[in-house]
A and B are shown apart, each in its own frame.
Chain A
Amino acid sequence: MLLHIKKATFVAFLSLSLSLKNSLSNQFTSLKPIHISQTLSLYLSVSQTKSLSPLHLSASLSNQISLSLSLSFNQKPQCDGDGDARAHRGSGLPEKQRKHLPADKQYLQTRNVPCFPQEDREVEEMIVEGSDDEAWVATSIQGMTDTVDELPEEKTQTTQAPVDPDDLDDDDDIPTLEDEDYSGAAVVDDDDSGAAEETVRQLRTYDITIHYDGHYSTPRVWLRGYAASGEPLQGDEWESDFSVDHANKTVTLEQHPHLPDHWVSIHPCKHAEAMKNMMDTVSDGAALDVKYYMVIFLKFLQVIIPSISYDFTSSFQVVRQMNPEEMQAAAATGAPAAAAN
């Protein structure tokens, strides 16, 4: 009863997600509500755990709803690879290619994602008014500065830019979207851009790749950390960036399937189950459009790696299909179906 998606479908679906240019607004007000019921028959029914099919995808392709994922596919490996690991940073090793996938669609990647350390800040709580279950609890965090919460917002804005595959050149220092983000983050017209720049310099960054795991039929995520100096993290330095609940349990250091080094990987054994659970929560049992798969997957990852602000997706909104009783109730009161807004 798990949510699995098929290999070819996954790749096609990712292509779809990446080709959608318009960014999803993060406000309720400016969003077009998505009426799931309208095209129900074409959509993945999560509750019945169907696999994805090409039909679902072509349906999604024609759909106007767009996603903003700052992921891009790997580049085509260069034939004159000289074995230098850095030369393959954006393309993967030619000998590790999976034959059933196009050379330039082996995996997804995003680079130089900043990592905001998870500090153990003291949380202050006190009941300020009332008693029992109607009491107000005031919460605040000690030593909070503005610097940290300025940056992610800038990132959010800059990642709205569409990924243009033509921007990728074959040099190692590919100006990926993420690179631009961070040069962008340092020169934003913000009051304290100096402070922001300072913060960026001190941050570790992560490269993230996502490939399709054939055994578990889910996406699988790989991360590689770099110190603020740009040097790869050594040994177990990465552990501090992952929640203690996950480091060395679900998250381990393993050989990357396409790249020469050991990367931190989130084991996918529970991904399908967790995705089903999360999609059920999102859709409240109704059918959910397949285009949400990657968005929800990335949201799900955030739980495991809260400090790495990879959140490529903006907030998104779903207008759920009404269940039959609600339909009747709405009809009885003369309200149009799903007139939530």
Chain B
Amino acid sequence: MMRSGKETNPYKQKHDFAARSAEARRIRKKYSEQYPVIVLRGKRCKLPPLDKNKFIVSGEMTLAQFQQIIRSRSNLAASQSIFVYVENDGKFAIPETSKAIRQLYQDFGDDDGFLYLTYHHDDAFGASALEM
């Protein structure tokens, strides 16, 4: 697949394609029905980075549920919300949160065998209506 521009995915910067696909194959073989997911922080996201960003996720977990996991690991204030999207190889998609990880992996998985998900938070989503 043709790639244009600079690689901005830090995981891809750190590991070359061969290493990534070998690792992804190993995980897929070892954990059937579970999928390797790399969670990235959106470029404009002001939250501190997650301490862990490599997840082995049960295929039937929905994106909404996985979003909760990211949420709980990012120490968000109650008023902050996050949303998760796919941003990979210059492509961008916001999947339905009801989709299972298995489906996302099939639809949006990278050639290297990982599914890359990016999160972003927004204070305004959860803003109280004090200014009404």
Enumerate chain A interface residues (CB-CB to B < 8 A): 26-28, 33, 116, 121, 123, 125, 127-128, 133-141, 144, 146, 148-149, 152-153, 155-156, 244-246, 249-250, 252, 267, 269-270, 273-274, 277-278, 280-282, 284, 296, 299-300, 302-304, 306, 309, 311, 313-320, 322, 326, 329-330, 335-341
> A319 contacts which of B51, B53, B65, B90 (Cβ < 8 Å)?
B90
Enumerate chain B interface residues (CB-CB to A < 8 A): 1-6, 27, 31, 34, 36, 42-44, 51-58, 60-62, 64-66, 68-69, 72, 78-79, 81-83, 85-86, 89-100, 103, 107-108, 120, 122, 124-129, 131-132
* Chain A residues whose CB sits within 8 angstroms of the CB of B1 once the complex forms: 341
Asked if residues B96 and A149 are in contact (CB atoms below 8 Å), the reply is: no
Asked if residues A270 and B62 are in contact (CB atoms below 8 Å), the reply is: no
> A269 contacts which of B64, B79, B103, B127 (Cβ < 8 Å)?
B127
Asked if residues A317 and B93 are in contact (CB atoms below 8 Å), the reply is: yes
Asked if residues A317 and B127 are in contact (CB atoms below 8 Å), the reply is: no
A300 and B93 CA atoms in complex are apart in Å by: 13
Sorted nearest first, the 8 A-B pairs with minimum C-beta distance are A340-B90, A152-B98, A274-B124, A249-B128, A315-B95, A267-B129, A326-B5, A270-B127
Q: How far is the CB of B16 from chain A (nearest CB, A)?
A: 15
Asked whether A303 and B83 contact (CB < 8 A) given A249-B129, A335-B2, the answer is yes
Q: List 21 A-B contacts (CB under 8 A).
A: A133-B51, A138-B31, A139-B55, A140-B61, A144-B60, A152-B62, A153-B100, A155-B98, A156-B99, A245-B78, A245-B81, A249-B128, A270-B127, A274-B122, A278-B83, A300-B125, A303-B81, A311-B96, A319-B91, A326-B6, A340-B89
* Chain A residues whose CB sits within 8 angstroms of the CB of B31 once the complex forms: 138
Asked if residues B95 and A281 are in contact (CB atoms below 8 Å), the reply is: no
> A139 contacts which of B27, B58, B120 (Cβ < 8 Å)?
B58
Asked if residues B94 and A282 are in contact (CB atoms below 8 Å), the reply is: yes
* Chain B residues whose CB sits within 8 angstroms of the CB of A318 once the complex forms: 91-93
Asked if residues A127 and B122 are in contact (CB atoms below 8 Å), the reply is: no
Asked whether A341 and B124 contact (CB < 8 A) given A125-B69, A249-B129, the answer is no
* Chain A residues whose CB sits within 8 angstroms of the CB of B107 once the complex forms: 26-28, 315
Q: How far is the CB of A153 from chain B (nearest CB, A)?
A: 7
Asked whether A136 and B79 contact (CB < 8 A) given A249-B128, A281-B120, the answer is no
Asked if residues A153 and B55 are in contact (CB atoms below 8 Å), the reply is: no
Asked if residues A299 and B83 are in contact (CB atoms below 8 Å), the reply is: yes
Q: How far is the CB of A149 from chain B (nearest CB, A)?
A: 5
A296 and B108 CA atoms in complex are apart in Å by: 19
Asked if residues A326 and B4 are in contact (CB atoms below 8 Å), the reply is: yes
Asked whether A28 and B93 contact (CB < 8 A) given A149-B60, A335-B4, A339-B2, the answer is yes
Asked if residues B96 and A315 are in contact (CB atoms below 8 Å), the reply is: yes
A284 and B99 CA atoms in complex are apart in Å by: 24
Asked if residues B43 and A284 are in contact (CB atoms below 8 Å), the reply is: yes
Which residue, of A128, A330, A340, has the highest number of chain B Cβ atoms within 10 A? A340
* Chain B residues whose CB sits within 8 angstroms of the CB of A314 once the complex forms: 96
> A152 contacts which of B34, B72, B96, B120 (Cβ < 8 Å)?
B96
Which residue, of A28, A303, A315, A322, has the highest number of chain B Cβ atoms within 10 A? A315
Asked if residues A341 and B61 are in contact (CB atoms below 8 Å), the reply is: no
Asked if residues B56 and A156 are in contact (CB atoms below 8 Å), the reply is: no
